[in-house]
Amino acid sequence: MEFQSNYNIYAGGLKHKMIEYLMTGPFGIISMTFRYLICMLTPLVTAFAFCQMFLERSGIILRLESHSGKLLSHMGLSADCLLPLMSGFGCTTAALSALSGLSSSRERYIAAFLLSAAVPCSAQTAVIIGIAFVLPPSLFIFYISSVAAVFVISGIFLNILLPADKIYHTPRTKNGAVHMPAMFPLLKVSVLYGISFLKDTLLPFAAGSAILSVLSYTGFLDYLCRICAPVTESFLQLPREAASLFIMSIVKRDFGAAGLLSVIEQSSFTYRQLTVSMLILSLFVPCFASLIILLKQEGFAKALSIWAGSLALSILVGKLASLLLIS
């Protein structure tokens, strides 16, 4: 009886710890969903919707589109994609959600791939700017040039590879006057858009947080780090710690980017290894929240192709950078 009682106490305590970790741990349903989705992502989506409508209704977007249409056309995109691509530097997930307004599925796929694979989010951009003060100028220029080249070349390649749509974009008048639109209707529609986004994403996001919490609690995430370590060390010539950065970036891109700051403090990476790691993280797979949007908008097959394509692209570019900088 005493043994059974002690066992029940132990089992109850273990169950309580697991539930607490599941709810409030690093990937907890409450901590991640409230802090990231509700407090960060939804306001960003709402703000993006407001900015998009403001630029459109004020006539400013017409001026910007007139200067970018030729380059975008080589990548199979219309000027309608300019604003979502630009907003990807703020939040990739918010930018992906804005692509739902595009009438062409081909154009939406190309833009989604470029946003997922070649546009750093705001958290990554902030860390990258901070690292720029540490890296030698030549290495930082190499990084910027590499990301820009990957963006343009990937768009041109997809434009050649994918069959053309039968949807044609109506040319816009480029000489419209810039004016100040009514603000209250913009605010109202933007808030409604943000609420709709939260309703659509809340349950899938909470479910994903629960799965990640279980994987972390059981030590499976650590196991994945050990599996990835040989590829990281042998193929990419990076320290073992880089594997954890890449895995964490799958969950949330800024996790991996922020990990680079601790790497600098620990001095476990050389400047060249840091540059390669930063390049891979910038081109890495879309984070968990972005993957949810991709699944919702593009379906499983296309979302998987974007995820796998960005993974392969980041490793390939990382290997080339490693050969140029480290070997």
Structure tokens at 272: 């060249």
By the 10 Å C-beta count (0-12 exposed, 13-18 middle, 19+ buried), 78 is classed as buried
Is the residue at 189 inside a domain? Answer: yes
Residue range 218-240: average pLDDT?
84
Residue range 29-55: average pLDDT?
77
- Per residue in 54-109, pLDDT tens? 877 887 777 776 677 778 888 888 877 887 887 777 678 878 888 877 778 889 99
Residue range 149-170: average pLDDT?
80
Is the residue at 178 inside a domain? Answer: no
Among 165, 53, 61, residue whose Cα is nearest residue 110: 165
Q: Identify the pLDDT of residue 176.
A: 59
Is the residue at 108 inside a domain? Answer: yes
Q: Identify the pLDDT of residue 7.
A: 44
Residue range 313-325: average pLDDT?
94
Please tell me which residue, 312 or 260, carries the higher pLDDT value: 312
Residues of the chain above pLDDT 70, percent: 84
Q: Identify the pLDDT of residue 123.
A: 64
Is the residue at 218 inside a domain? Answer: yes
DSSP 5-42: HHHHHHHHHHHHHHHHHHHHSTT-HHHHIIIIIIIIIH
Q: Identify the pLDDT of residue 3.
A: 46
Per-residue pLDDT at 310 exceeds 90: yes
Q: Identify the pLDDT of residue 13.
A: 52
Per-residue pLDDT at 189 exceeds 70: yes
54-68, 192-206, 251-265: the lowest-pLDDT one: 251-265
Rounded Cα–Cα distance for residues 81 and 159 (Å): 14
- Distance between alpha carbon 278 and the CA centroid of its chain, in Å? 14
Per-residue pLDDT at 15 exceeds 80: no
Residue range 294-323: average pLDDT?
92
Give the best-scoring range by mean pLDDT among 30-44, 114-128, 184-198, 199-213. Answer: 184-198
Specify the 3-state DSSP secondary structure of 178: coil
Per-residue pLDDT at 167 exceeds 50: no
Is the residue at 179 inside a domain? Answer: no
- Residue 166 pLDDT grade (very low, low, confident, very high; cuts 50, 70, 90): low
Residue range 207-228: average pLDDT?
80
Tally of domains in the chain: 1
Residue ranges in 26-121 assigned as alpha helix (H): 29-32, 42-58, 60-74, 82-87, 92-98, 105-118
Contact 274, 260 (CB under 8 A): yes
Q: Mean pLDDT across the chain, nearest whole number? A: 80
Range of the domain at 111: 2-164+184-325
Residue range 125-151: average pLDDT?
86
Specify the 3-state DSSP secondary structure of 203: helix
Q: Identify the pLDDT of residue 9.
A: 47
Q: Is 165 left (phi over 0), alpha (psi -120 to 50) or beta?
A: beta
Q: Identify the pLDDT of residue 218.
A: 85
Is the residue at 171 inside a domain? Answer: no
- Name the residue type at position 286: P
Is the residue at 46 inside a domain? Answer: yes
What is the number of residues in the chain?
Answer: 327
- Residue 168 pLDDT grade (very low, low, confident, very high; cuts 50, 70, 90): very low
Q: Identify the pLDDT of residue 157.
A: 93
Is the residue at 172 inside a domain? Answer: no
Is the dihedral angle over the CA atoms 201, 150, 319, 301 positive or is it negative?
positive
Rg (CA), the chain: 22
User: Tokens 């349903």, residue?
Assistant: 29
